[in-house]
Structure 1
Amino acid sequence: MKIINTLKAPKAIGPYSQAILTEENFLYISGQLGLNPETMNLEENIELQTKRVLQNIDEILKEANFTKKNIIKTTILIENMSNFDVINNIYADYFGEHKPARSAFEVSKLPKNGLIEIEVIAKK
């Protein structure tokens, strides 16, 4: 198992790794918030946070020599399900024709009062 870490994505805000790469070439990316990695502040709204989450995921994927086409499963945690359409449109644009398995849940609260968190499983 190998710990994946990049300064181009937000540092972990707790006792966990940005991602773990297994010997079987599975990449498990911890839940990413809409944090700007330079300031560690959340972006202003659901649209910007969703875009930032996906940018942060991209940076971790790159660090592990993966691409978004390697993603096989995502889990989306949403602070308010009324934002689902905005999130879904940005998500669809990001993935294009690639459609990994996905779960989406509304939760009562996210770390740092984030509006969205996405975790990823990828495989080469």
Structure 2
Amino acid sequence: MASQTDSRTIIATNEAPRAIGPYSQAVHSGNLLFTSGQVALHPETQQLVEGGIEAQTTQVFANLKAILEAAGSSFASVLKATVFLKNFDDFAAMNAIYAEHLAAGGSQPPARSTVEVARLPKDALIEIDLVALIPS
């Protein structure tokens, strides 16, 4: 579902967790899509998934995929990713799952920043936001 406001379109889908604050799941302007940071909330329960960094990273990518698809985009159109990790020791495990989604099949991966942070919403282990193209 999309709603038009001035020169931007708000993107919302029930296939990803609803916003837990005063923000949108994503905003589309021109040919760019900006997602809000996604943590590993399950869309149906709004609860953080259990199972450590692998389970949480997998859920984050499921949430991001749903938002990209709701906007008419995909992982192949991602320009930039920002990854926030609670513990940088989780980098290798996160990076393996990240590569499955954003560097699969020899595709050219997007630009990325990865930082360790003291705390994330809901005490999540990972949060990721994306900037992507909306193909015309």
TM-score by length of 1: 0.97
Larger Rg: 2
From 84, 109, 115, the counterpart of 2:119: 109
Cα deviation for residue 25 of structure 1 reads 1.1
For 1:11, the equivalent position in structure 2 comes to 18
SS of the residue aligned with 1:7? coil
Spell out, residue by residue over 1:71-112, the C-alpha distance to the aligned partner (whole angstroms, 9 max, x if none).
Answer: 000000000000000000010111212300000000000000
Q: Percent identity?
A: 45
Q: Which runs of 4+ in 1 moved over 2 A?
A: none
Say if 2:85 is the partner of 1:75. Answer: no
From 17, 27, 49, the counterpart of 1:20: 27
For 1:39, the equivalent position in structure 2 comes to 45
Gaps of 5+ in 1: none
For 1:60, the equivalent position in structure 2 comes to 67
For 1:99, the equivalent position in structure 2 comes to 109
TM-score by length of 2: 0.88
SS of the residue aligned with 1:109? coil
Q: How many residues align?
A: 123
Gaps of 5+ in 2: 1-7
Spell out, residue by residue over 1:20-40, the C-alpha distance to the aligned partner (whole angstroms, 9 max, x if none).
Answer: 000x21000000001100011
Q: C-alpha root-mean-square deviation of aligned residues, in Å?
A: 0.7
